[in-house]
């Protein structure tokens, strides 16, 4: 039995989808454990190029079981569209949705957007997809779960009670129109007809496969630095995106995990507000953004750009218990004569070697850079470590030495073939 957890080591958008899709070839089960459609994976395989927001990336492989776990929150309309896309393109993997996963209701989306508008220039920068309000209802024990769709009479009572409070908030605090109870009720039966056959006891499925010694991949969403507890709070997501979230989000014991892989871009990006110590601007940032296509899969927003932050990477390695690192988008750095890596921080003239938890301190950080020679030679689609330039090899070796974790996989493009396996996982 092998259970590997794949997490994003930065602020999300690291290219986890491509890596999970690559590893899923040998996997029996791929399970998503947290987040909602505020995250997006783009995979490119023999069936085409797909942006998935909820369904695990293993759906492109024959014989895989793809689980959406209890730690997720699901917009039923988004999931239905995704399932239709999967069916249209004949993606072969099986799909199972946890009966314990919480639904994102129309009032969650409206509340999310209303609150962001209300905050004005102090907005957190959410995707406006209702993720935070759905998790808030889960914690306050007012949430609606996927399994509730099987009992419409009971579900309607829950929704009616919730709407009394939600509409009061929308109208009296945010000055927004109330949400129609009838409009929601009209959608429920359709949701169940299209999703009911997928709703399952996913804990049972995953533990049956553990007993059978199957190969299981646990798929993280977003990145460790967006974790609700350990990220750059308050500019974070609403769930645990670190590796520990895979245990609670799927109902697995800690001793079951064999290996944790962290995925990092060869540079850094961030979407939305929040401190970003190595952020760069102007022509340099625009060059990376355009070459790498750094625009949000979910929102389309241009991503903020920065050099690789090794201090943040070491922190991420600690809080996730990383055994192995994957570096993606190495090919984007082909276009630079000099490449910078942040190896230290300076705050108000004093050097520090740790990742601060205080948002004000983090926003005042001056990065200390080590500079490496570029390679001015294409690494795009290269599939062997022997085929890349000596300067590119040296860059990888230095990252590995600075972070202190082996770099086992390098991605040099979006396709499955553009992957260098340094060490077998």
Catalytic residue among 21, 22, 28, 41: 41
Check if the beta carbon of residue 65 is closer than 8 Å to that of residue 98. no
CA dist., res. 32 & res. 339, Å (int): 34
Cβ atoms of 410 and 331 within 8 Å: the answer is no
Structure tokens at 261: 């892989």
Which of 13, 21, 28, 75 is catalytic? The answer is 13
Instruction: Dig out the tokens for 18 from the structure.
Output: 């491509």
User: Contact at 8 Å (CB) between 192 and 97?
Assistant: no
Instruction: List strands edge to edge, sheet with 268-270.
Output: 268-270, 304-306, 279-280
Alpha-carbon distance of 78 to 54, in angstroms, equals 8
Residues 9/320, Cβ–Cβ less than 8 Å: yes
Contacts of 282 (CB under 8 A, 6+ apart): none
Using only the alpha carbons of the chain, give its radius of gyration. Answer: 22
The H or E element that residue 244 is part of is none
Query: What is the CA 290 to chain-centroid distance, rounded?
Result: 22
Helices (H) and strands (E) in the chain, counts: 12, 21
Q: What is the DSSP letter of 54?
A: S
- Known catalytic membership, residue 22: no
| Measured distance CA(138)–CA(108) in Å, rounded | 12
Catalytic annotation present for 207: no
Alpha carbon distance 104, 143 (integer Å): 9
- The answer to whether the bond into 286 is cis (omega within 30° of 0) is no
Catalytic center residues: 13, 41
């Amino acid at each position: 039995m092998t259970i590997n957890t794949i997490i994003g080591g930065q602020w999300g958008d690291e290219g986890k989808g491509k890596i999970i899709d690559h590893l899923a070839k040998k996997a029996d089960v791929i399970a998503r454990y947290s987040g909602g459609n505020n995250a997006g994976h783009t995979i490119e395989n023999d069936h085409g190029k797909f942006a998935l927001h909820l369904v695990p990336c293993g759906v492109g492989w024959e014989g895989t079981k793809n689980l959406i776990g209890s730690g997720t929150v699901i917009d039923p309309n988004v999931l239905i569209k995704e399932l239709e896309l999967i069916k249209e393109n004949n993606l072969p993997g099986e799909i199972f949705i946890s009966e314990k996963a919480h639904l994102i209701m129309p009032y969650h989306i409206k509340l999310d957007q209303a609150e962001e508008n209300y905050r004005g220039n102090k907005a957190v920068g959410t995707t406006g997809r209702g993720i935070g309000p759905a998790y808030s209802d889960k914690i306050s024990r007012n949430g609606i779960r996927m399994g509730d769709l099987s009992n419409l009479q009971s579900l309607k009572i829950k929704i009616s009670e919730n709407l009394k409070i939600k509409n009061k908030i929308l109208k009296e605090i945010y000055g927004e129109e109330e949400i129609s109870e009838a409009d929601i009720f009209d959608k429920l039966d359709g949701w169940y007809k299209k999703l009911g056959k997928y709703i399952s006891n996913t804990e049972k499925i995953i533990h049956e496969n553990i007993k059978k010694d199957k190969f299981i991949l646990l798929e993280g969403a977003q990145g460790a630095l967006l974790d609700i507890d350990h990220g750059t709070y308050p500019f974070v997501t609403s769930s645990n995106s670190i590796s520990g979230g895979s245990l609670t989000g799927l109902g697995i014991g800690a001793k079951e995990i064999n290996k944790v892989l962290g995925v990092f871009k060869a540079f850094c990006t961030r979407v939305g507000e929040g401190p970003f110590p190595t952020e760069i601007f102007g022509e340099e940032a625009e060059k990376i953004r355009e070459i790498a296509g750094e625009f949000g899969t979910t929102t389309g927003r241009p991503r903020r750009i920065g050099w690789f932050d090794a201090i943040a990477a070491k922190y991420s390695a600690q809080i996730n218990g990383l055994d192995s690192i994957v570096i993606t988008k190495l090919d984007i750095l082909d276009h630079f004569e000099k490449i910078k890596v942040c190896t230290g921080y300076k705050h108000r003239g004093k050097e520090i070697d740790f990742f601060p938890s205080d948002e004000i301190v983090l926003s005042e950080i001056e990065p200390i850079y080590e500079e490496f020679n570029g390679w001015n030679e294409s690494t795009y689609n290269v599939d062997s470590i022997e085929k890349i330039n000596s300067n590119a090899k040296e860059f990888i070796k230095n990252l590995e030495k600075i972070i202190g974790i082996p770099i086992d996989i390098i991605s040099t493009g979006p396709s499955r073939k553009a992957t260098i396996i340094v060490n077998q996982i």
